[in-house]
Structures are given as C-alpha cells and as structure tokens.
Amino acid sequence: MDRRNEISIGTLAGRTGLAVSAIRYYETQGLVAPERNAGGQRRFLRSDIRRLSFVLIAQKFGFTLDRIREVLSRLPQGRTPTAKDWTEISQGFRAELDEQIEALTRLRNKLDGCIGCGCLSLDRCALYNPDDVAADKGAGPRYLMGDEAVRPEG
C-alpha cells in the first residue's frame, strides 16, 4: 500500500507503463533518485510519475538519456517541480526540437537537388558540407565520395 506521497516501484511502473527493470535502469542513469524504506525497497514520490513521463516523451523525440538527464537537472532541487517548472523546461526542449526538424528539412531539400540532376553527385550538393541532422551514433570519420564517384559510371 502506497502512503501519502510515497509509491513503490511497481506502482510507478503501472502509472508510466514502464517496466520495473527500466525504472531501475533509469535510476542508475541518474534520471530518478528514489529513497529507500526500512526494508531497503525504493520509495518514489508521486511527482516522479510526471518526471518519468517526461523522459518517455523526450525519448520519443529522439533525445538520449544523457541529454534528458541534463535537461532534468535544470529542475529545481529540493522541492517538487510545479507546473510552471515543467512548462519552462518543455520550452527549451521545444527549441531543440525545432532545430532538429529544420536540419532534417534542409537536408531533404538538398537531396531534392540531387534527385533533380539524377547524378546523385552528393559531394557537391547533399552531404559534402555536413548539415548534421543527428549527431553520429557510430564512431569513425564519415565523409562522402571522391571525384570519381561523382561521374555517372554506366
């Protein structure tokens, strides 16, 4: 039975739709910081429901857990976040989103040029000047095509 302002990991899982294992993982990543009861079990605050919901949404938009942790760190420490706190955080969040959409759109427009000329000469139009949409996930250098690649090669 969850008391006043404390809920168990199972209840939190039920409310957010997350798996219990995922919540534990989020704790290791610093996304939530539950206390423990006498028996060593985690006790979350009801406001953590909203906190984790925010995490889920941010993920839908493609943010990594690392970035989300940074964003959440802007929430006031020591007190339960208010609606206004969440509004402010969501706005900064939206700004980044806008950038992402714009970068993707710019890149798409460049691709149009390539499709138009039919040569797929991407060293000149699309990606030679990287217009980084999403930061590279894999490691290693990523540049595109040398001269010869440009010429149609029947």
Binding site for a copy of itself (CB under 8 A): 14-19, 22, 46-47, 49-50, 53-54, 56-57, 60-62, 80, 82-84, 86-87, 90-91, 93-94, 97-98, 100-101, 104-105, 107-108, 111-112, 114-115, 118-120, 122, 126-127, 133-134, 140-146, 148-149, 152-154
Distances (CA, A) of 141 to 122, 130, 136: 17, 12, 9
Instruction: Return the residues of window 65-104 that contact DNA according to CB under 7 A.
Output: 65-66
- What backbone phi and psi angles, to 5 degrees, belong to 52? -70, -30
Q: How far apart are CA 110 and CA 57, in angstroms?
A: 30
Query: Based on CB atoms, which residue is closest to a copy of itself, 39 or 152?
Result: 152
Q: Which is nearer to DNA, 106 or 142 (CB)?
A: 142
- Per-residue b/e over 77-86, b at no fewer than 16 CB within 10 Å? eeeebeeeeb
* CA dist., res. 16 & res. 53, Å (int): 6
Residue of 5, 33, 35, 59 interacting with DNA (CB under 7 A): 59
